[in-house]
């Protein structure tokens, strides 16, 4: 998950990882995770879309 959390603050890293863990626990094929500086659309474990604003956006 380093690719997803790179260049995010520690608080955002924790949130991103928690959201991924929750989605995987629910066995979702497609989901969106968000933090204040970015959003990621995930499908089958791959980023299919992302965006953000300002510093801290990883993609």
pLDDT in the model for residue 26: 97
User: How confident is the model over 7-25, as a mean pLDDT?
Assistant: 95
d(CA 23, CA 45): 10
Kindly indicate the confidence band of residue 55, based on its pLDDT and cuts at 50, 70 and 90: very low
User: How confident is the model over 25-52, as a mean pLDDT?
Assistant: 95
Q: So where are the chain's domains? A: 2-52
Closest CA to 52 of 14, 1, 2, 4: 4
Average pLDDT in the chain: 87
d(CA 58, CA 26): 25
**Model pTM?**
0.80
Q: Decide the pairing of beta strands 30-35 and 46-52.
A: unpaired
Structure tokens at 25: 């626990």
């Amino acid at each position: 998950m380093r690719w997803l959390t790179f260049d995010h603050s520690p608080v955002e890293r924790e949130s991103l990882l928690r959201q991924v863990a929750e989605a995987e626990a629910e066995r979702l094929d497609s989901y969106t995770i968000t933090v204040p500086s970015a959003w990621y659309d995930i499908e089958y474990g791959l980023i299919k879309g992302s965006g953000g604003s300002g510093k801290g956006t990883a993609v």
